[in-house]
Structure 1
Amino acid sequence: MGCDACVENKGCMCDHSTQDLKSVVNEADVEDHTEANSSFAHSVINMIGMLIGLGISAPYALENGGWASAFLLVGIGVICAYTSLLLGKCLEKSPRSRSYADIGQHAFGSRGRVLATTFIDLEIFMTLVSFTISLHDNLITVFAGTQLRLPLWTKLSTSQLLTMIGVLIALPSLWLTDLSSISFLSFGGILMSIIIFTSVACIAIFQVVKANHRIPVLHLHKIPAISGLYIFCYAGHIVFPNLYKSMKDPSKFTKVSIVSFASVIALYTSLAFTGAKLFGPEVSSQITLSMPRHLIITKIALWATVITPMTKYALMFAPFSVQIEHSLPSSFSSRTKTIIRGAVGSFLLLIINTNYSTFRSIF
């Protein structure tokens, strides 16, 4: 039996001495302790910050699926919350597991690690692409009619240049090393999402849009199509192992999950019904694109939607950055690892930015 299993089972069944075993255990404990610096509040902010802001398509999905599809929205949220609790239990039972790849290897061996790593990396990449597409769509709406004179050699359109500027502004966030530091970005994302919801609510309360559309009961044939939109509302599990390992008291992870998912489910359900009632069949795939463009509150909401994905790049990239750091030689200093990780993240984001139109046609 390998020494990793020996350490995990609190006893050595291999040829290592007791002193060696204590050294391995202590090194692991020190590593966990140095990274576990997030409080309960930090963890809640990071989890809500990861989940919230992904559901601005909920009104579009509800209008197309019917009001009965709201049960699907809530049901998927409950299932995702439960799987979050199961994930916490897996990490609790296997203290040396730090990621889905570790859990995959623990359950299915090396093939499980390869499979888990492949799916995780694909999800990270596709989510970063979706953030960039959302950033582009809202930037061209904010700057509608704006034409920038660019040198011919750049071969960039105005919308591409604006998106690149937004991505460049977000790049420094990829150099942050711990989740307690990233929590202020998550709080900013939460604040932006609250601004979006408040803007939609104000349009409804003050009857800026005098409409009270009837939401159909159920469009059964559209359920498969809108299910993906509902699932994407809760696309944050990729970061949960990092959140768990960053907590000072991991035993509170269950409470973090319950508080976070309850808040997000309530917000998404309210936003879905409000947006669908306001705009009816004319509701856009992103609720902010349906709001009257001449209103100041719409401009505020659009800017909030622009900023939201910029606050999520760092947290979404965190699992991949951990993989990078662990793959580097232990002889590298922490500063060197940070530089390499930040450089890889910056390069990846720039590649996505320069090719997002291609990815958009695929996705």
Structure 2
Amino acid sequence: MKVLLTDLNYLLQCKMLKSLRKILSLRSKYCIKQRNYEHGENSEALSVQFPNCNDCVEENKHCNCDHIVAVEDRKNSTTAEGASVDSNSSFVHSVINMVGMLIGLGQLSTPYAVEKGGWGSALLLIGLGVICAYTSHILGKCLEKNPKLTSYVDIGNQAFGTKGRYLVATFIYMDIFMALVSYTISLHDNLITVFIGTHLKMKFAMLTSSQIIALVAILIALPSLWIRDMSCISFLSTGGIVMSLLVFACVVATAIFGVGEAGNNHSIPVFKLHNIPSISGLYVFCYGGHIVFPDLYKSMKDPSKFTKVSIVSFTIAIAFYTSMGFMGAKMYGNDIQSQITLSMPSNQIITKIALWATVLVPMTKYALEFAPFAIHLEQTLPNSLNGRTKLVIRGCVASFLLLTILVLALSVPYFEHVLSLTGSLLSVAICLVFPCVFYLKIFWGKITRFLLVLNISLVIFGVLLGGMGTISSTKLILQKLISHHST
């Protein structure tokens, strides 16, 4: 009888355990689907099963599986932009990504900066590239020490707590905003050349033809801000990289074949010391990509090769910008415009290709630049709102900000000075000062005296360079505005 009762009790326990197992399985699937629905995330990335839990239940043991760690690991595999990071990027792929981040708007202004600062100022361009390569290396060291860090803001938080996090986030958003203003000014300036001689009028608004054309271009770009899929945004960004390379190819072809006035071999002054503060910001802006480097580090198969990736990528970027600067300065000399495309002969087909490529670059950048802000905005909205409502709010706010940027760009249409101010005030801090300060704070007491002196020296150099550049650029913008309003 006792044996029969024992067998019956065993069968009941088995049935109860099987039922409990089914309930847990259904609950797990439901939670995953619900999370996917609420956050719009990739179901494959989040459908993480816990096989050990079933074993625990079957064996009637207490479950010791670290579910919280598993969830945190999934959270840590998410970038600042909200995209899931798969650690599958090879060395070559990582170099391509970093070079793509480094090469951008700076190529338009580098020839202007080399001519205004003299060929000797190219040493500053090269030196800043080397320094920024080093600061990317020490960012990698900070990430290596604490694998839980996933973004540039996280490093600031690790070094200085909540205050550091807020300070870094403020600089990042200001940098994005100012960069978008510069992109919009470039869009406006190049559209004027593309549609030269075109006359448009609007009855309900006192706008010039160039302003109306710029407004139409912005309205065309607005729908891209409503895109939520990061793969589509990355596709647009890739298009922008291709357009940047096309501009470079057009400038090279113009230099080789001597199209129009480009055949003239102008002499470049050796050094213009008084222009160095104003052009230093243009040089620093060329190497502004540090915000995204932590994401690139996390996406690598072998993060230990991040330093090598930085060396190769910055070497390519330095060669790219230096050659671009000397080509433009030699072709057009003192007549060089703030953007190389505006100096090229407008009646040539190769110039039209370069102009259209330059116009398309900003239109492909808006969605990517807005992505961090837009995703952060969605995360701060109440959970009671559904996905569609959050998307509408996100799109409306981003659209309003882009129109605000357009108004600011049309009000202060001085490309070289706005870009220089952005580089001096914000890029110097993000690319040079902050990484050194983070490294000193996180590794304090664990680094050699040489590294201590080096990083302190770079911080002082960055503060002085940024301060002089900010004052010079601000003064030039104010002079331009006063001169414009007086006429």
- TM bracket (short chain): 0.7 to 0.9
Q: Does 1:285 align with 2:338?
A: yes
CA deviation after TM superposition for structure 1 residue 338, in Å? 4.5
Q: Does 1:213 align with 2:266?
A: yes
1:51-98 deviation per Cα after TM superposition (whole angstroms, max 9, x unaligned): 212221111111111111111111111221222222233233333333
Match of 2:72 in 1: 28
Q: Does 1:174 align with 2:218?
A: no
CA deviation after TM superposition for structure 1 residue 39, in Å? 3.5
Q: Does 1:76 align with 2:128?
A: yes
The alpha-carbon distance between structure 1 residues 69 and 267, as it changes in their structure 2 partners (threshold 3 A), is same
Larger radius of gyration: 2
Counterpart among 156, 160, 172 of residue 108 in structure 1? 160
CA deviation after TM superposition for structure 1 residue 180, in Å? 4.6
The alpha-carbon distance between structure 1 residues 162 and 290, as it changes in their structure 2 partners (threshold 3 A), is same
Counterpart among 382, 400, 419 of residue 347 in structure 1? 400
Aligned length: 344
Match of 1:299 in 2: 352
CA deviation after TM superposition for structure 1 residue 241, in Å? 3.4
Which one-letter code corresponds to 1:30 in the other structure?
R
After superposing the two structures, state which structure 1 stretch, 94-103 or 270-279, moved more. 94-103
Match of 1:144 in 2: 196
CA deviation after TM superposition for structure 1 residue 227, in Å? 0.5
Secondary structure, counterpart of 1:237 in structure 2 = coil
Question: Between the two proteins, what is the percent identity of the paired residues?
Answer: 59
5 Å-filtered alignment, 1:189-228, equals: 189-208=240-259, 209-228=262-281
1:229-271 deviation per Cα after TM superposition (whole angstroms, max 9, x unaligned): 11111222233334445x2637154454334322222111111
Cα distance in structure 2, aligned partners of 1:354 and 1:22: 52
CA deviation after TM superposition for structure 1 residue 350, in Å? 1.8
2:266·2:332 contact (CA, 8 Å) conserved in 1? yes
CA deviation after TM superposition for structure 1 residue 115, in Å? 1.3
2:85·2:295 contact (CA, 8 Å) conserved in 1? no
The alpha-carbon distance between structure 1 residues 135 and 63, as it changes in their structure 2 partners (threshold 3 A), is same
Counterpart among 127, 130, 151 of residue 99 in structure 1? 151
Match of 2:33 in 1: none
Q: Does 1:120 align with 2:169?
A: no
CA deviation after TM superposition for structure 1 residue 300, in Å? 0.8
2:136·2:293 contact (CA, 8 Å) conserved in 1? yes
CA deviation after TM superposition for structure 1 residue 125, in Å? 0.9
Counterpart among 276, 283, 286 of residue 233 in structure 1? 286
The alpha-carbon distance between structure 1 residues 301 and 182, as it changes in their structure 2 partners (threshold 3 A), is same
Cα RMSD of the aligned pairs, angstroms, is 2.8
Structure 1: runs of 5 or more not aligned: 1-17
1:207-232 deviation per Cα after TM superposition (whole angstroms, max 9, x unaligned): 22331111111112221111111111
1:291·1:298 contact (CA, 8 Å) conserved in 2? yes
The alpha-carbon distance between structure 1 residues 296 and 336, as it changes in their structure 2 partners (threshold 3 A), is same
Structure 2: runs of 5 or more not aligned: 1-61, 79-83, 419-487
CA deviation after TM superposition for structure 1 residue 359, in Å? 4.5
The alpha-carbon distance between structure 1 residues 139 and 43, as it changes in their structure 2 partners (threshold 3 A), is farther
After superposing the two structures, state which structure 1 stretch, 269-278 or 91-100, moved more. 91-100
Cα distance in structure 1, aligned partners of 2:63 and 2:99: 43
CA deviation after TM superposition for structure 1 residue 32, in Å? 4.1
Which one-letter code corresponds to 1:308 in the other structure?
V
CA deviation after TM superposition for structure 1 residue 277, in Å? 0.6
The alpha-carbon distance between structure 1 residues 51 and 166, as it changes in their structure 2 partners (threshold 3 A), is farther
After superposing the two structures, state which structure 1 stretch, 349-358 or 139-148, moved more. 349-358
1:73·1:269 contact (CA, 8 Å) conserved in 2? yes
Cα distance in structure 2, aligned partners of 1:74 and 1:139: 32
Cα distance in structure 1, aligned partners of 2:160 and 2:144: 18
TM-score normalised by L of structure 1: 0.84
Counterpart among 410, 416, 432 of residue 357 in structure 1? 410
The alpha-carbon distance between structure 1 residues 96 and 20, as it changes in their structure 2 partners (threshold 3 A), is farther
Match of 1:184 in 2: 235
